Amino acid sequence: MLFSVMHIIHLVTVILWIGGLAFVTMFVLPMIIRMQNPLEKVLFFQGIEHRFAPRAKIYNAIVGITGFVMLYLTGWYRLLFTHKGIPLLFMLIIWIFWFIMLFGLEPVIIRRMLDRMAKSGEAMEIETIFARMNRMHWLLLMISLAASIAGIIFGHGYF
């Protein structure tokens, strides 16, 4: 019973988290890039960032907690460094990467980026920063989808 609850919460949170990331990557950032006014770009991005970043931290924590509880309940942690556990280990590594990004690096990186944009005020530089940010979001989305695929492969014994 507890396992089922954890499993459901794990999946629904992954949907909200990675779905939100996909939306920002595929629709919001390209929309910002097409905006003409550099100030409007920065303010719009800041508005989204202020709302999504705290939520992404909560999603990351919930996915981690439910994942670890499932491992504890089933004893699957014993599989972590075995052949069968490769997809599980992959999911865990991507989660740790996200944890470090969200709780350690992101506040520093984003703050520095916004500071740079505010100081420079030059359309060209802001253009370059947003293009780089879009590429970075695509990369993050791809590795997150890869972690989801690893979860499906592990959970359904496809490996």
Q: Which tokens belong to 145?
A: 């989808």
Each residue 58-87 as x (binds ligand HEM by CB under 6 A) or -, in order, gives: -----xx--xx-xx----x-----------
Q: Are the C-beta atoms of residues 137 and 25 closer than 8 Å to each other? A: yes
Smallest gap from Cβ 112 to ligand HEM, in A, equals 25
By CB under 6 A, residue 99 contacts ligand HEM: no
Residues contacting 122, CB < 8 A, separation 6+ = 38
Interaction pattern, residues 20-59, with ligand HEM; x per rule: CB under 6 A: ----------------------------------------
Residue 31 exposure: Cα atoms within 13 Å on the Cβ side: 10
> Is 11 a residue that touches ligand HEM (CB under 6 A)?
yes
Contact mark string toward ligand HEM, 130..149, x via CB under 6 A: --------------x--xx-
For 50, phi then psi, to 5°, come to -65, -30
Question: CB-wise, 78 or 116, nearer to ligand HEM?
Answer: 78
Instruction: Give min distance, CB of 78 to ligand HEM, in A.
Output: 12
Going by C-alpha positions, the residue among 13, 6, 101, 102 that lies closest to residue 53 is 102
Angle, vertex CA 21, rays to CA 16 and CA 22, nearest 5:
100
Binding status of residue 95 toward ligand HEM by CB under 6 A: yes
Whole-number minimum distance, CB 65 to ligand HEM, in Å? 9
90 binds ligand HEM (CB under 6 A): no
Rounded CA-CA distance 45/15 in Å is 22
